Amino acid sequence: MQLIPLTMPVVNKEMKETALHVLENEMLVGGESVVKFEQSFAKYVGTDYAVSSNSGSSALLLAFHAIGLNVGDKVVAPSATFIATLNGACLLGANPVFCEIGSDYVILSEQLEKILNKSQVKCVVPVHLYGRPCNMSCILDIAKRKNVILIEDSAQAHGAQHKSKKVGSFGEAAIFSFYPTKNMTVGGDGGMITTNSKKICESALKMRDVGRKTKYTHDEIGYTLRLNSVNAAIGKIQLQHLDEWNAKRRSIAKAYRNKLTGIGDLIMPPGDEPYDESVYHLFVLRTQKRDLLGLWLSKNGVSTGVHYPIPVHRQPAYQKFESKVLAFTDEWSKTVISIPIFPNLDSKDQEYIINLVTRFYDERLYEQKELRDKEKEWSNKLI
């Protein structure tokens, strides 16, 4: 049986030919493709600058460094995210403060405001989780009133829009990831910072390049976090396809929503506000029978994912920090399941997935002894 993957990057002939061309003709690090990719990306997002890096995590580290994050500073982010969101801040000595998410899976503005009323916070990191834009008008308003710096984690939301403005253009800075499962990749790890601040741009350029001032002079102790030229060249071509791929993701999401709404106890991902445009990096359902559904789909050749089974405040690495009760985040982590979505998902395969999910509930297949016997084993894989 051939497996239907959860996601699959598009790698076409043009990308392969470009990679070869760069390998044969450019400096492999710091080639002209890097600058060209950065310029195209800044133009696409609508910011003055874009600085590439070798991952989204590196981009976060560079952004936190650029805003002058210091030991003991507080940084607020949701716990319902990938662990990397605050890793860079913590590595610089900051203290994470976790905020609850709403039923739309993005940071809850009311709770954010309460946190900012109570404590002195330097920076807030809203995460456009699963490709859904946060309500940036509201968050910007709060950030301005409370005088905190905003860094958007747009790692999962290339091309998503709030009120006709692209995510990644709202905060002091934003970051993107090009890890191969993302809506666009660079043919491996990669990341980008977008900003309108010359200061942030210059800091990121220097710190990604060993703190270099001139070829042989280094006036800061920096990192080596550059994006390779071959990856940048692939990224530039991927970017040209991003809108078309996002449109396909939206139409796949629409078909899932049409066919799966009202089935069993399934909760669909939140629909878009009229002024928002999600890019469905993931299509995430919620169900109390999450593990049995994952097992059933896997048995029938369909890959699923769980984003994420352990919220960041419950990760072993974060136990040294204080955290409060995040009841909805806990519930979310126990019930979410991601089903396949990617631009080249075949419509017959999608029908097959929809049919399997529908049968699971309509025929009460979750009661099958064979599935129940393996449930524990399946759940253990998530922790």
Ligand X SMILES: Cc1ncc(COP(=O)(O)O)c(C=O)c1O
Provide the binding-site residues for ligand X, judged by CB under 6 A: 55-57, 81-82, 84-85, 127, 153, 155-156, 177, 179, 189, 191
Are 200 and 123 in contact, with CB atoms under 8 Å apart?
Answer: no
C-beta closer to ligand X: residue 74 or 158: 158
**Minimum CB–partner distance for residue 289 and ligand X (Å):** 26
C-beta closer to ligand X: residue 342 or 360: 342
C-beta closer to ligand X: residue 172 or 361: 172
C-beta closer to ligand X: residue 77 or 302: 77
C-beta closer to ligand X: residue 127 or 150: 127
**Minimum CB–partner distance for residue 157 and ligand X (Å):** 9
**Minimum CB–partner distance for residue 155 and ligand X (Å):** 3
C-beta closer to ligand X: residue 180 or 264: 180
Biggest alpha carbon–alpha carbon distance for the chain: 70
d(C-alpha 202, C-alpha 205), whole Å: 5
Query: Which residue is nearest to ligand X, using beta carbons?
Result: 56
Nearest CA among 285, 50, 64, 46 for reference residue 178: 50
Are 142 and 108 in contact, with CB atoms under 8 Å apart?
Answer: no
C-beta closer to ligand X: residue 65 or 289: 65
Burial of 270 (0-12, 13-18, 19+ CB in 10 A): middle
Are 153 and 175 in contact, with CB atoms under 8 Å apart?
Answer: yes
**Minimum CB–partner distance for residue 281 and ligand X (Å):** 8
Are 179 and 185 in contact, with CB atoms under 8 Å apart?
Answer: yes
**Minimum CB–partner distance for residue 126 and ligand X (Å):** 11
**Minimum CB–partner distance for residue 244 and ligand X (Å):** 22
Count of other CB atoms within 10 angstroms of residue 32: 14
Distances (CA, A) of 60 to 15, 21, 155, 181, 345: 27, 30, 10, 18, 31
**Minimum CB–partner distance for residue 242 and ligand X (Å):** 16
C-beta closer to ligand X: residue 81 or 350: 81
**Minimum CB–partner distance for residue 302 and ligand X (Å):** 22
**Minimum CB–partner distance for residue 307 and ligand X (Å):** 8
C-beta closer to ligand X: residue 115 or 312: 312
